[in-house]
Structures are given as structure tokens and as C-alpha cells.
Structure 1
């Protein structure tokens, strides 16, 4: 196999796209991965990294373009990550995401994978302004200007996002105003070295009602109406005293200017970690402590830190597909693992005997219980905790499910939960996945005792190399 040097420029013919959206070529038998390159393109690339069996390169020039290459509508967002694919025409993005599922199955090879029915990816009519929630980092530049945005991939460079075309427009408008008000009132901004202050702002808007909730994450303590929060256990240091965030004026202006804001919370996060939130959260403004969102034919409440899909338009599609795959019957007892605020479970609650859900986030379970009560679902039961511990306890108490819904994080199913599923084996199962690689890996276990009826991919994140998938599984006889 040929040896390539860092900085060496080589001509490549791009053959296909990889799981991260990069173009893949073979150069004298060696695989080369090139972000932003498309199949059928002829390019000049510069080697940036050599691993044992492959190399990475950056795109220098395109000598022959793909007929599906387009100019990114939002070049700033597009360049944030090498896995963004806004340079690929949207119909071909959907084809690529269908192929993502196939690639993942081919890599992990769960039993019978070649015979799985892979349905075409369901896309969006308008794949812009779809994200109903933003979590932007806040920074003060040397000039004194305050910006909000996201870090560029594999760097600590914050990219200012003033008009992100995948972000819901009102949330973008609000965070832009936040930056102006931080400047106006000289509020401290965390700089990760000597100054404590505001570090992150979360804004989420309900597609159903237009209601907005916000969280200010701060490494400094908050002062509102003359009260200090959190109260220090000891006399604050000089650094802390200089870093207090006085919220009265910014809060007053924001809620007056944007009347759809119903909840503003503060989160205290003084530790230098990659976690977005700290352990303590306080409501600063609560016309309502939750926002009302809707999916399919019902509505539910969301607390500021409760999880919900970032793309509410496609959430309707995703949940409809999950219900269709489950094919609920009146006698079904459903377990909704990773239930969040109860959204998927509520979609079948009217059609089944019972729904039992669990989640590790107490705020989400509190919302789920309140939502079930408000919707009049007396057949729904929710507990805080891990599925691998709660499900065996339910089985021991006499509750044995006939159907299982799982919607895990990107890490996939916990090993202990897979072992629990193997023991309990409900008659039917629906797996909602946000990571096709961990899905395929989990299917190695699940396919031992479940038949994979089909996999339906849904484009929840247009212009990225990510897709969601709904898997219908039926217990083998």
C-alpha cells in the first residue's frame, strides 16, 4: 500500500459517501476520506492525517463537479462541521440517509441483515428553520462585542451565528437580542479563565403555541430583586463578587419585548466541564413554568430542561411511524423506555390497556405524570430510574408487557437493558433510533430473538449526516 505524506496533494475520484457525510476515494489501494466531497467528483485533495488503514484529506479544488452539488444556503452553518451536507441537493441527502442505514447494517451484520426491508427516507417539504431549540455559547470579544454561537468542529473557536438558516427564526431573534442586552447592561460573560458570568443561553419555542422558554447558564451567581442565588455557603471570593449577574433589567426588557416568553430560568454551573448544565436551576420568570407543545392529536407540557425532539414538524412523522410500527391493540400492555415527558406513549395510550414509562430525568417524569393527568390518561404510570432496573421490578410485581417502545440516546441501548429485553421478550417491539451505528450494533442482540420486519428512516436533521429510524420488531416463534 502506498505511503502518503502530510501536506501531499493528490488527485482523487470520489466513489461514495461515508457515515459522516465525507467523500470516500481509493488511492492506489488506500482509502482516503475527504469532507465536503461528493460521489462522481474528481478533486485535488491535501493529506491531513494518516492512520493505519486510511488517510484523511481536505478538499483543495474540484476539477469535475457532481451534478447534485449545490451552493449551501447557509455557508457559516455548513462550515461548522465536516458532517454537514448542505452542499448536496436535498433529494440526494435523503438517498444518502437511506444508505446510512445500509452501511451500518453492513458493518455490524446483525442476523439476516441483508433481507431487512429498508424503506425510503421520509424528508421535509421545507428543510430550513426546523430546529425549535438553540443552545448557544456566549462570548465577549476583545472589542467588547458579545456574540452567541457554536464551536467549530474539533476546535475552541466560537462561530457567531446571527442568522442560522436551520434555526427557528424567533429563537434566533431572541438570542441576538440577548447579546445586545448583555452589552447594554455590561453583564459579565464567562471567559473560562478569570471572569465568571453567563456562558450559555438556551431558547426553545413551541411550534404549537408559539410559547418560548429560556435558560441562562451562568458560572456566576445571580442577583434578582436584590436576592442572591444560589446563596453561598461561605463568604464569596473577590472573583465571585465581581462576577455577579444582575438580571433585573435584562429580564424586564426581554419579557416586555418578546411577549411569547413564558418561562426564564437560571442554571448555576461554576465547574469547568463540557456539560452544558450544572446541578442547580432556578425559575426567574414564570408566567408559566412550562410551554405547551403538540404532536399528532394531543398536547403536552415541557419544562425548560425536559427533552423533546428538535424538529417538531418531523416529530409528527416520527411518532406516527412509531405508532404504525407498534400496531397497538386494546389488550396491549406497553412499556415506554426512555419515555421523556411521555410523548410517544401518549400517542398509543387511547388504543392500549396500559402504558408504563421510565426516564432517568426527574423533571421529565414529573412532566409525564402531569401531562397524563391533564390528558385524562388513567392507564399511564411513570417512574424515575433506569429501564434495566425498573422493568425487572415491574415483571416481579406481576406487570408483564406485550409491547416495548425504546427511544434511547445516541449511545444506544444500555447493555443491562439489552439483557433485560432478552429475558422478558415482549411480543413486539419498536426501536426509535437517532444513531444508525448503535442501532445496528444493538440489533446483533435483538435479532437473535426478534424478526426485523422493516426499518423506516426519517430525516429529523436536514443538511447533516444524521438520520432517525423506526424499527418494527416481532418476537420469533
Structure 2
């Protein structure tokens, strides 16, 4: 945003604000965004625990250090920018204000290099072309930069010339990777070929040297990630005597931080690449009391229980969909004294916290962190403590307020809506979802989204929306 725009009070100066939809809150000032997110968290779990004041970003612009640029050939011109799943096309963006400027420069250079060498760019109209997208990762504290070129086949046209030309244009790139992905999803493929450099980058996160490989997860906002991780580990109240499990541990940043203050740490993660990085990261930092296991978290906890092992503290940071019922059931059996639940989706977190409360835990603290300025997303850290056997807690809580459809529900209505919107671009209503769930044999609460009388006319869900909702129900494992 320009200085003049700021002086004029403009908040949506981005020319593609409405087309891109990446910054949903671009029409708000940063203070208004923080208030919006504070209220969102309070409405979800305020009856259980008064949220702390949201931790703001020191700089809400230029924070994204993981940036994806998609390519498309439109109207005889190659463009790069934001992929739109609803249309299968690309919104042209050369400079995004929330991205690290170096990432945008590299994406633009990749596009120009491909055009100069006549490398065919993907075209959404005919489904042909080689260059699909590029992923740029920047290590803020070391300056190392990884660029991952994703193509549609193993045959990379003019590969040697491309590498030479791009690295000359962008000498700041420390490693260049090539991966193949033939699907419509904007993912890095299973196999990664190192074209230049060492094949990974290293950064300093909370004082720990951390390796990040092409397929490993790392937070997009390193400045806020530092605040988040420090908050989570501090909330665990470790004294040096505890056994800790870090579920969904990723590359092990929080595990290593916890290991400094605990007796033993077990990190569990299903992503093999991330676990490999975590093991290496433990060695890089001389950490000997952290052990990393590649496993589904629910399965790991079940095995932990079978061996009658004890954990004093569990830290968990699941994906946006939250935890499944199997995992939560096994977590309760582990019976840790404290649970630190980190989440990027407070709606699914509220659902899971409610389950834990019903099974002997109390929500002690609720701490929001603004990890993604200008978006409607908010990160939250919940501290739960186990009630003693002679204690109990009664919470007057309507399940509607946590958007639960039944005791066996695996996803909220808002979560299903968000999934459908993200993957199809369609906007579905709660009534649409209720109709499809009823059709699929999922029992609804009495009178939930039902007509007030038998004669009331309800709009029927279109076939397109029904298929999209069914896809979401399958994703959340609510139907087979």
C-alpha cells in the first residue's frame, strides 16, 4: 500500500483485491482486523474461557515467506499469479503486498526465463503446457532461498539453459528444485530433483537451526511463528521433569524448544520428509532427549497406551481440519496433566476442546495470535489442564454455539462451507448441507435448518452443490 493511500485511509488499494480473494480483510484497517479476529475467537470459546488480547504482527505487510506462483496462458499472453480453484485459472499478480518482495521477483523471473527459452507454459483452456507453478521459500534469518519448479512431465525442456539463466537473474536463490505434478492440485510432487544447490534451506527459528526440505511444512510468517511457538512452549509450564509428546510435530521446531525444558520429548508426524528433517534438526542443535516417529498420530497414541507409557504434557498442532475422534479418544487415555492445543482453525479447535472438556479437562487459557494479517484466519493456543478426580466442571454451553451437529459430528457447517468454497468456488448454505446430510443418512438435530411447517417451500440443493458437499463429507470422513 502506498503512503498516500494510508494517509487517505484506504485499506483496499490492491487492484486485484476482489478477484484474488486471498486477503479477505483488505477492506479493513489493521486495527479493525484485530478486533474482528478477537470477536471471532470470543464468540467460539468465550463461554469457556475469556480470550487473551490477540498478539498482533509488528509488520502486517510483506510477511509471507512461502509464496506460490501459478502460471497460465491467457489471451495470447503468459501470466503468473494466484491460482483460482473455482475457475481453474490464474489471477495475474506481479506484486502482492503480503508477500516477501524477493519471492515475487523470483516468480516473475521464472516466467520471463520460460518465455525467453520458449518453454511451454500451462494453459487452463486446453489443459496443455509444461510449466505449472513455482513455490518460493525464504529463510528470513539466514537469507537462504529455495525455488521449486513444478512441471507436468519429467521431460524438462531446455533444463540446463533454464537453470543457468534463472540463477544468473536471481543469484539470491541458494537451491533450485524440480518436481512433477500432473494433478489439478497446487502441490509439490512426490519426487524432487535438485537442479542447483544443496536441495534444502536452513533457517534460525527460536534460536534453533532448522532444516526445511521441499515437501516439509514451515510457517509462512516467521516473525509471528516465533511468538506462537514461544507462547505454546511457555504455556506447557515445563520444569525439566516432564515427558512431552509433540503431536503433528512437523520439522520439530517446538519439539526442540520443549526438549530444552523437559526430560524427554516424543515428536510424532506422518510426513516422512518432515520427520527426516526433524531428526537432522535434533542433531544440528545437539538435542539428545528428543525422539521423532513417523506415524499417524492416532496410531502412535494407541501404541503409547498399549505400552502403558505416561506423558505429562501433550502439544498438538493439527491441520485445519482439526483432530479426528480416534486421536482425541487416545489422547484422553494418555491422560496428560496439560494439553497445549495450537490451531490455525478455531472452529474445529472449539469442537475438539469441547470433546476434551467432556472428558475431564478444563480450558485454562485461550490465546489468539495474528499469524495471517489481511486474511480472516487466526491462530489460537489453548491450554487445558486435567481435572482431579474429586473435581468436576459444569459448563452451560449450547452445542449450536460450537456448531456441532451431533455427538459424532466430525466437521462444523462453517468448515464444510469453507472446504466447498476452497475446492469448488461454490457458496453453499447450511440448509444445503443439512439436506445433503439427511440424504446421506446422517441424522440431524431436531428442527435444525428444517422448514417451520410442512407447507413451507425450501430451495432444493442443486446437483453441482450436492456433489461438492458430498465431496466435503467424504474428506471429513463423515461418509464412506
Under TM normalisation by the shorter chain, which class is it?
0.7 to 0.9
Contact 1:148 1:175 (C-alpha < 8 Å) held by counterparts: yes
Contact 2:148 2:176 (C-alpha < 8 Å) held by counterparts: yes
Please identify which structure carries the higher helix content: 2
Question: Given the two structures, how large is their TM-score scaled by the length of structure 1?
Answer: 0.76
Distance (Å, rounded) in 2 between the aligned partners of 1:246 and 1:454? 56
Contact 2:72 2:122 (C-alpha < 8 Å) held by counterparts: yes
Q: Does 1:177 align with 2:89?
A: no
Q: Does 1:120 align with 2:18?
A: no
Partner of residue 94, structure 1: 34
- Other structure's SS at 1:351 match: coil
Q: Does 1:134 align with 2:67?
A: yes
Distance (Å, rounded) in 2 between the aligned partners of 1:331 and 1:116? 28
Match of 2:166 among 249, 254, 266: 254
Partner of residue 278, structure 1: 189
Question: Which deviates the most, 84-93 or 152-161?
Answer: 152-161
Question: Given the two structures, how large is their TM-score scaled by the length of structure 2?
Answer: 0.76
What are the Cα deviations for residues 417-456 of structure 1, in whole angstroms up to 9, with x where unaligned?
Answer: 1111121121101000100110111112011211111111
Contact 1:69 1:87 (C-alpha < 8 Å) held by counterparts: no
* Alpha-carbon shift at residue 70 of structure 1 (Å): 3.5
Q: After the TM superposition, which residues 3-18 of structure 1 pair with which residues of structure 2 at under 5 Å, given as runs?
A: none
Partner of residue 349, structure 2: 439
Partner of residue 76, structure 1: 16
Distance (Å, rounded) in 1 between the aligned partners of 2:127 and 2:249? 40
Contact 2:133 2:186 (C-alpha < 8 Å) held by counterparts: no
Kindly tell me: are residues 123 and 298 of structure 1, through their superposed partners in 2, closer, same or farther at Cα, counting changes over 3 Å? same
Distance (Å, rounded) in 1 between the aligned partners of 2:41 and 2:323? 17
Partner of residue 474, structure 1: 385
Distance (Å, rounded) in 1 between the aligned partners of 2:159 and 2:40? 46
- Other structure's SS at 2:53 match: strand
Q: Does 1:212 align with 2:122?
A: no
- Other structure's SS at 2:280 match: helix
Partner of residue 55, structure 1: none
Aligned length: 379
Q: After the TM superposition, which residues 367-406 of structure 1 pair with which residues of structure 2 at under 5 Å, given as runs?
A: 367-406=277-316
- Other structure's SS at 2:52 match: strand
Q: Does 1:151 align with 2:151?
A: no
Gaps in structure 2 of 5+ consecutive residues: 1-7, 389-480
Question: Which deviates the most, 422-431 or 253-262?
Answer: 253-262
* Alpha-carbon shift at residue 161 of structure 1 (Å): 1.0
Distance (Å, rounded) in 1 between the aligned partners of 2:311 and 2:11? 50
Kindly tell me: are residues 87 and 69 of structure 1, through their superposed partners in 2, closer, same or farther at Cα, counting changes over 3 Å? farther
Contact 1:200 1:217 (C-alpha < 8 Å) held by counterparts: yes
Contact 1:116 1:455 (C-alpha < 8 Å) held by counterparts: yes
Match of 1:453 among 359, 364, 375: 364
Distance (Å, rounded) in 2 between the aligned partners of 1:73 and 1:447? 44
Partner of residue 62, structure 1: none
Distance (Å, rounded) in 2 between the aligned partners of 1:70 and 1:312? 27
- Other structure's SS at 1:118 match: coil
Contact 1:162 1:172 (C-alpha < 8 Å) held by counterparts: yes
- Other structure's SS at 1:447 match: helix
Distance (Å, rounded) in 2 between the aligned partners of 1:78 and 1:325? 39
What are the Cα deviations for residues 162-217 of structure 1, in whole angstroms up to 9, with x where unaligned?
Answer: 01000001011110111111110010122253523111110111011111111111
What are the Cα deviations for residues 298-356 of structure 1, in whole angstroms up to 9, with x where unaligned?
Answer: 22110011101000010011111101211112111110101000011111111100110
Q: After the TM superposition, which residues 153-302 of structure 1 pair with which residues of structure 2 at under 5 Å, given as runs?
A: 154-192=86-124, 193-223=126-156, 245-271=157-183, 273-274=184-185, 276-285=187-196, 287-302=197-212
Gaps in structure 1 of 5+ consecutive residues: 1-67, 106-112, 224-244
Distance (Å, rounded) in 1 between the aligned partners of 2:202 and 2:230? 19
Kindly tell me: are residues 141 and 134 of structure 1, through their superposed partners in 2, closer, same or farther at Cα, counting changes over 3 Å? same
What are the Cα deviations for residues 88-144 of structure 1, in whole angstroms up to 9, with x where unaligned?
Answer: 111121111111112333xxxxxxx5140211111112210000011121112332x
Q: Does 1:462 align with 2:367?
A: no
* Alpha-carbon shift at residue 222 of structure 1 (Å): 3.0
- Other structure's SS at 2:16 match: helix
The Cα RMSD (Å) is 1.9
Detail structure 1 runs of 4+ shifted over 6 Å in the superposition: none
